[in-house]
Chains A and B, each alone.
Chain A
Amino acid sequence: MIEEGKMSRRILTVDDSPSMRMLLRAALTEQGFTVFEAEDGVDALEKLEAATPDLVITDINMPRMDGFGLIEALRSGDVRAGLPILVLTTEASDEKKARARSAGATGWIVKPFDREKLGAAIRRVLH
């Protein structure tokens, strides 16, 4: 639900699957977030300035630049260094989770996502 008196928070979703982006857009829009979409890490970096997101949700397995590359790129810049990044992935391995964590991810969510849990995690990170 949209909180009264507050600006809608802006989420950039990064996933190479149009279907997954559609599902995320529906789930997040319903909970009052404004959603921007990118199809991989390169696309996300290109759209970052225009979207000015409050939070990024990224997949791991993507062409051109994967989720790890995107996290590293975002954390290496100084303009958006504190931007929260949630990883949303089919990957469940501890090794990949640890890699995301050390690269600077804020959290890890295994697909398929639950819309309420996802929304609650976003609100908690943005609080």
Chain B
Amino acid sequence: MSVMSSIAPPQVKRLTVAQGDSLASSDPGVIFTTVLGSCVAVCLFDGSAGVGGMNHFLLAEPAPIANEDTRLLNRYGVHSMELLINEMLKRGAIRRNLKARIYGGATMRQGLGDIGNNNIQFARRFLTNESIAVLGEDVGGISARRVEFRPAAGLSRCKTVSTRPVERVIEISPPAVGDVELF
């Protein structure tokens, strides 16, 4: 192996994290990227394992039961976060080492209620429940954001953009959800 090839930077692979996705990687060449309006993306990182992950969700389901414990929890949000955590654990991350950053949740237009803020509140509540420390966040406001995250290093970058991302509200009860198979 030549000296040049041994110090060559890893080939950069940009992966778009679309709404509904939960991706994780330990590849130093991978950059996760996404554009957020009302949606929220949570970046998780385990520094010991060198594993990071990002999801991207938009929640609009009303709280099913209005008590303090479940008021801000949302089963699709919990599902998105669980998928993300599972993807990280499969790559060697350890749950107690996870640290988080939260992005997005802007108010993009009138008439969408407080969806952006609800998404932010959900993310904060979930991470508190799971004892995952939030190291930083760039949330709220009225502008869309572009987020880039290097999962292996845990480095993220966020800037506001004039792009207006296409966002769709997740259906409240798609028929396939929770299908049961009894053996």
Contact = CB atoms under 8 A, between A and B. Distances in A.
A36 to B, nearest CB: 16
B175 to A, nearest CB: 9
A74 B65 CA distance: 33
B81 A19 contact: yes
9 contacts: A17-B78, A17-B130, A23-B75, A90-B86, A107-B182, A111-B178, A113-B177, A118-B180, A125-B182
A125 B75 CA distance: 24
Interface of B: 64-65, 67, 69-70, 73, 75-76, 78-79, 81-83, 85-86, 89, 95, 126, 129-130, 173, 177-183
Nearest to A16: B95
A121 B76 CA distance: 20
- Chain A residues touching B, majority SS: helix
Contacts, number: 85
B73 A22 contact: yes
A118 B177 CA distance: 10
Nearest to B183: A101
Contacts of B181: 97, 107-109
Interface of A: 16-20, 22-23, 25-27, 30, 61, 63, 90, 97, 101, 105-115, 117-118, 120-121, 124-125
Contact of B83 (A63, A90, A114, A121): A90
Contacts of A63: 95
Contacts of A30: 65
A118 B70 CA distance: 18
A62 to B, nearest CB: 10
A27 B182 CA distance: 20
Nearest to A29: B65
B70 A22 contact: yes
A19 B130 contact: yes
A97 B89 CA distance: 20
Contact of A107 (B65, B82, B129, B183): B183
B144 to A, nearest CB: 27
The 9 closest A-B pairs by CB, nearest first: A114-B178, A112-B79, A107-B182, A121-B180, A113-B178, A112-B75, A26-B70, A19-B129, A117-B178
Nearest to A104: B183
Given A111-B82, A113-B75, A22 B179 contact: no
Given A23-B75, A106-B183, A118 B81 contact: no
A125 B180 CA distance: 11
